[in-house]
Structure 1
Amino acid sequence: MRPRTAWQAMTQRPLSFLTSTWPWRSLAYLATGVVVGAAAVAVFVTGLVAGLILLVVLVGVAPLVGVVLSSITVATVERFRLRLVDLDGMSDPHRRPEEPGFRAWLSTRLTEQVTWRELLFTLISAAALWWLDLLVLAFSFGLPALTFQAVDSATWPWAVFGAIVLLASPYTVTSWAGARAALARTFLAPRDGELGESLKEVHASRVRLIDSFDAERVRIERDLHDGAQQRLVSLGMTLGLMRLDIPEGAPLAAQLTEAESQLSAIHQELRSLIRGLNPPVLADHGLVAAVEDHASRFPVPVTVDLRLPGRLPRQLETNVYYLINEAMTNIARHSGARSAKVHGRYHSDMLVLEIADDGHGGADPAAGTGLTGLADRLIALDGRMRVSSPTGGPTLLHVEIPCHFA
């Protein structure tokens, strides 16, 4: 799977990482961070000084409000810069004013929680982050330059140290860029209730679509059980009655035996299909028992270590089961693995699943390996996933789903 973030890129093999664009993207992210941070400092200092001076004559509120609103611009630039080290980026969480005009826009922005988170992020960026960007760049490149200039017979150990620092600079720069991006996402990413109406409708439509799929799956299971399976049973009884009328050793007896054998195989496959569509063990005994039952019949040996404090809500339990089922199916179809593991725990209203295999890796959602379907199901569950699948393996799928037990 191609990395989507700077931190994911660092998990690649060293040669792949060093020859990729990620170190350069991280370098550009930190360099522009210094420029943006210095500009933010200038704007804040100017606005605060002007506001405090003019506050005496009761007009200082305007510069202070300008300082608050300038953080929106800083946050917009940061979201744009973030795409250097996080290819998924972030959408703008600000909502559209209900009325036209500057007054409505100003009122909307000053009452949004995201505006004040952006102000806090801008303050942190101006006070510390851009200094840390500069410090990392100075350590990674300035220190080696100084040691090389001052090298002589007495200071050659410092030159060696400078060379080591320079060789490690791609990892130093990328690791800090990844940490800085994670911090920016914490402050600037949309929160619950801040998604636009169109995005809310997309999310709701995904939920309705998955619910309709689940309902259709139950209907198909019922139709197969009450229709096709009963007809196969009736056909088996008919073949049994025909056998009573055929003498032993007759040529037709061998053909009848073959037909009964094929009918039995078809019946077994149909029962397996019905059990997979709506497994009774899931309804009767819960998620853990259902996953263990599925793993016992799986073509790849699977170790199940799933511990939950109780039964999940029925709809969520069904969705989680089919999510694990689909992930295991991907392992059988694409990974070439000899073994797999399903690990799950419940922590602080969050179900955390890890599904790993020892296959050849290289899982890529763009290649149609089934990860896109998993991502769609997780979005409907308000969950998220991370995939680590370097070429040569192993592959680890980390899933987090918010949930509450009864």
Structure 2
Amino acid sequence: MTIWQALRRPRFLLSSWPWRGLAYLASGGVLGMVIAIVLFTIAITGAVLSLFVIGLAVLALLPLCGLVVGPIERWRLRLVDPVPVSSPHRPPSRPGAWAWFTHRYREPSTWREFACTLLLAVLGLADLIGLSIVLTSVGLLIGSPVIIAFSDRSEEVINLGPGWQVNSIGEALPVVPIGVLLAVVFAYLIAAWAGGRANLTRFLLAPRESELGERVVALTRSRARLVDAFQAERRRIERDLHDGAQQRLVALSVELGLARLDAPPGSDVARRVASAHEQAKLALAELRELIRGVHPQVLTDRGLAPAVTEVAGRAVVPVEVHVDVPRRLAPEIEAAAYFVVTEALTNVDRHSKATSATVRGGIHNGLLNVEILDDGVGGADPALGSGLVGLADRIAVVDGALTVVSPIGGPTLLRVEIPVR
């Protein structure tokens, strides 16, 4: 809730919002006074030293003062507006102090922050003067009986304005309700003024749509590079396992098989060699499953349709495959679609109690569509740990969308749409 929303509530005066608005304006006034002194000092120093190069360097620091004030103002905004304002600045493309300075000078957000700094120096002082007058006036009106009671003066004690003097407690008591009424009015006015100041600050400091668009493009490119690097690393690991550890296990299994034939039948050596042979074959089978989970060779060599056909052939439930992808797609797209099918068929085997499943896939209107349908009991829920959240995250990496329709009693339909690049 912002201070503008709080102003419309009946219990506004009983809430913390009037004090938060007062704190926002008062802290802005103090900060504005400090900023005015700093800016004046920098400007005078630069002007005096302008005959030398160092003077120009000092003057060049003036616009960069907003880089210090901007984060402070974003933090102060939280007093009256809980919605955070993100920094519009982007890191420079090259390292070094000169690259940093030139990059900051070219950024429009740097100059908007400098404008916010100048406004704070002017309006902050105005806030401080206005708050001083308001608080002094209300304090005199409400506290006039106390002031007179503790005063030793017998003559005129309080001058509230032209022709309005209060000299006794009897004259001061009727003034107190006026002070209370003014305190209520000023509470609303101060909150409204604080809200207006906050809106102006947010307008100057919040990132523009063009800047947000540039950041989205940069993040998208960065994510694409990470996905490419991740897929390349998976393929490297798959090749190392396939050409290294798997080949050694195959050779070991062959050697143990030959040793098993040469060992005396029924001897302890024959039994131990036979046991080692079986363990080697189990390790080889597990390694092959691991390689398929990292990145199947058939996906790299032949593409999505043959890879889906292979994984469907290993499923416990009979799976009918209709995948028609006439051309090779980007490796990250093929990998995302393949692992979605793999995880979906694993869920079918483990949870669905289905008797059959169907996998369909094809390219339509620039989208790769993959559907997995089973005749199981339905009720698939991501919250139950069925892996659907992980699938959605994997598809989101390639800008795809995942849809699950799984009513109680079935059937369950999992549909994936991925833009084809």
TM-score (norm. length: structure 1): 0.47
TM-score (norm. length: structure 2): 0.46
Question: Structure with the greater relative contact order (CA < 8 A, sep ≥ 6): 1 or 2?
Answer: 1
